[in-house]
Chains A and B, each alone.
Chain A
Amino acid sequence: MTEPTAVAVLSGGTSLERDVSLRSGGRVADALADLGHHVTHLDVGADLVRTLEDGGFDTAFLALHGSAGEDGTVQSLLELIGLAYTGPDVLASSLAWNKPIAQGLFGRAGIDVPARVTLSQQAFRELGAAAAVDRIASVLGRPLVVKPARGGSSLGLSIVEDPAGLPQAIVGALSYADVVLMEEFIDGTEVAVTVLDGEALPPVEIQPKEGAYDFRARYTAGATEFHAPARLDPDVLAACRGVAVDAYTSVGARHISRADLIVDTDGRPWLLELDTCPGLTTTSLAPMAAAAADLSFASLCDRLVSLALRDATA
């Protein structure tokens, strides 16, 4: 393991994913403390910069999900005050955070991404986008997926079967972000691939016991069945790993990311999104992938600390 290090574990804050972040952060802090690191668990707020400047920390461990923590804001502050941190840098974070931009980049990199339509609140309020809503179902088919263009944990996501339900789903998603992303629904096996320092860990297959892999299915222990590695042909597994690494590379990520994929019935992986600060709760996917690679949760956290220190001195 890494030499005992003074680590500030950052979690909480005021993002909509505060609750999940606190759970990730608590688990990380316990694991690192058990390894002998000097850990301070912080709920980020107005005193963050002062606390970090005065705290004598060697590195920050980012267990932040949602805005500020995942969109490059905190990363930018940490660079300004010269403190090493885990996870992708400012640019990679902000690229991945904006799902329409990230999907565009992935498409250009030759990764299969679902067909999509992006509309902002402004398009509806000022430019009469409502008149074009009927076209969405004809462009994307049905069912279709409606989600906020930013944020994770499936918050604000809905799967719309009947186009008559589309306006309500759009309004719902726009509660979470100012831009809504609508995608064609790809039927198949849901798979998450964690990339650790440029290398893909075993793909994890996600099978909710009922309905979609929504917030409830994500965070209720036992509500979803997972298999690692996913029960797919070896060449399909390899293709999934390849897509995850390509996605990591195309936004310029470092340390860790998690790619959420659907493998369609022909065995073709489609990239849905890339998470640059993946959840680390007891029901989260990245720790499962690590376990499947014989890397304990504590070792995964320790590895991330060592990567932060390595890149700070590089």
Chain B
Amino acid sequence: MRLDTDPYLQRYADRVLGLSASEIRALFAVASRPEVVSFAGGMPATSALDMEAVEDVVATVVRDSGATALQYGGGQGRAELRECLVEVMAEEGVPAHADDLVVTVGGQQALELVAKCFLNAGDVVLSEGPTYVGGIGAMTSHQAEVRHVGMDADGMRIDLLEEELAKLAAEGRSAKYVYTIPNHQNPAGVSLSIPRRQRLAELAESHDLLILEDNPYGLLDFAGEVRPSLRSLIPDRVVYVGTMSKTFAPGVRTGWVAAPAPIRDKLVLLREAADLCQSNLTQMVVESWLTTQPWREQVKHFTTVYREKSEVMLAALADEMPEGVHWTTPLGAFYIWLTVPRGIDTSDLLAKAVRHRVAYVPGRGFYADGAGGNQARLCFSYPEIDRIHEGVSRLGEVLHEELELVRAVFGDDAPQLRPHTAANDHGVGG
């Protein structure tokens, strides 16, 4: 008797066939236990919210507008909310009208809808390497080929982008779009420099590029610095994605996309096909939050909390990490990107780290091409300060032990632990 564990296999679409169980995902199940200090999930510090204010906002919405809040809404999202979101964008000098926006279920739905809108199987997208796991997932679930462009401390290397574009042209192909997170990038923790933004804008014009600008972290700069958005430079060539997940709360699942009108119309139709509309209830909660509460002060408070946590993690890393380990210094948001000596595989090492009760995300998850084996993302936004100390100390122990083990096992071949290349001195490349 033949036993089928999945009798539906013949029916699946091609895009589903690559989806499979993974050891790393299984290990994250342990990372969620309270015994483990997790630097894995990129979770905002929702405990830093003024919960009484949130309670007030939610109660008021239900009391004053319950029937509307619990009704269906339109596919583009509430006009009143879009007006508020335009103001949020204005904080960073990103120009937009309410009509340019489509409200989405977090930034992630925007990334998914954009992928669905543009990508056929086999199409090429260029993206920073490393880049956001969920961004890669959105593109590869539509069977796109993601090609990475290397980064350094100033963000995506535009010279490498030009090289990739030339390679594509030589193959007689082109990129459907360029995916970038220009501010406090996830996972590398670096921002695209202002000259490079200019250069990217020029390149977009000269090479007829469409840019997907994903900006969850722009308002979380530790020094309050605001960098010009790509949308402000080349509005007709940019699809811009924003989210309330980091400036308010991910639980309200409210993001948005701002796009040129023809693209916006397609996105509204795609979104209606996907889930009809955003929840009116959460839209009205966000609306009320933005119109009745001092939300700019809340963002400042978040930023202060994250800056303190980042300083604690950086100091702990300096104290605890063995020689040969490098990391980026974030100027905002949530992440530090760690590079360990070659010979240590951060995917393999995760099991040992979890046994030592500390977790991170191995670097490979942030590349579509299997790179990043000696890199890892540490997220400092969620754990409390004393847990950050404890976790980095455990991670230091694990890495010291692993380096010693690698030297012992490789014996005379230990030059595997070779010094970093020039590219790695910037602390981002693989």
Contacts and interface: CB of A to CB of B under 8 A. Distances in A.
Contacts of B355: 16
Q: At the interface, is chain B mostly helix, strand, loop or mixed?
A: helix
Contacts of B36: 14
A220 B1 contact: no
Contact of A16 (B1, B2, B27): B27
Interface in B1-35: 1-6, 8-9, 19-23, 25-27, 29-30, 33, 35
B30 A18 contact: yes
B315 interface: no
Given A124-B405, A168-B345, A225-B2, A130 B351 contact: no
Contact of B6 (A16, A156, A170, A221): A221
Contact of A19 (B6, B8, B29, B348): B29
Given A16-B351, A172-B345, A167 B3 contact: no
Interface stretch (A48-56, A94-102, A193-201, A211-219): A211-219
A17 B411 contact: no
A223 B22 CA distance: 13
A16 B413 contact: no
Q: Which of B5, B22, B352, B404 has the most CB of A within 10 A?
A: B5
B219 to A, nearest CB: 35
B21 A218 contact: yes
Interface residues of A, number: 48
A249 interface: no
B29 A22 contact: yes
Given A15-B30, A124-B408, A292-B1, A222 B6 contact: yes
Interface residues of B, number: 42
Nearest to A283: B5
A117 interface: no
A56 to B, nearest CB: 26
A130 B410 contact: yes
Contacts of B21: 215-216, 218-220
A175 B411 contact: no
A20 B405 contact: no
Nearest to A121: B405
B51 interface: no
Nearest to A131: B411
Contact of A227 (B2, B30, B348, B349): B2
B178 interface: no
Nearest to A156: B351
Contacts of B23: 155, 215-216
B316 interface: no
B1 to A, nearest CB: 6
A121, A155, A222, A283 interface centre (most CB from chain B within 10 Å): A222
B48 interface: no
Most-contacted residue by chain B among A18, A19, A45, A171 (CB, 10 A): A171
A125 B402 CA distance: 11
A191 interface: no
Interface string A27-40: 00000000000000
A133 interface: yes
B20 A216 contact: yes
Contacts of A176: 351-352
Interface string A149-174: 00001011000000000011011101
A216 B26 CA distance: 11
A171 B2 contact: no
B5 A224 contact: yes
Interface in A222-248: 222-229
Contacts of B404: 125
Contacts of A131: 411
Contacts of A22: 29
B406 interface: yes
Contact of A171 (B22, B25, B405): B405
Contacts of A229: 1
A282 interface: yes
Contacts of A45: 33, 35
A222 B20 CA distance: 10
Interface string B114-148: 00000000000000000000000000000000000
Given A130-B409, A171-B406, A224-B5, A215 B26 contact: yes
B341 to A, nearest CB: 12
B345 A171 contact: yes
A220 B23 CA distance: 11
Contacts of B412: 130
A12 to B, nearest CB: 8
B343 to A, nearest CB: 8
Contacts of B259: none
A71 to B, nearest CB: 14
Nearest to B357: A14
B405 A125 contact: yes
B104 to A, nearest CB: 30
Contact of A223 (B20, B351, B410): B20
B190 interface: no
Contacts of B3: 204, 225-228, 288, 291-292
A19 B22 CA distance: 11
B380 to A, nearest CB: 23
Interface of B: 1-6, 8-9, 19-23, 25-27, 29-30, 33, 35-36, 343-345, 348-352, 354-355, 357, 402, 404-406, 408-413
Interface of A: 14-20, 22, 45, 121, 124-125, 128-131, 133, 153, 155-156, 167-168, 170-172, 174-176, 204, 215-216, 218-229, 282-283, 288, 291-292
10 contacts: A19-B29, A19-B30, A130-B410, A155-B351, A172-B345, A215-B23, A220-B20, A221-B5, A227-B2, A229-B1
| 9 closest A-B pairs by CB | A222-B6, A130-B411, A221-B6, A219-B21, A19-B29, A19-B26, A172-B348, A220-B20, A124-B408
Given A175-B349, A221-B9, A225-B2, 9 more contacts: A14-B35, A171-B405, A174-B352, A176-B351, A222-B4, A223-B20, A225-B4, A227-B3, A291-B3
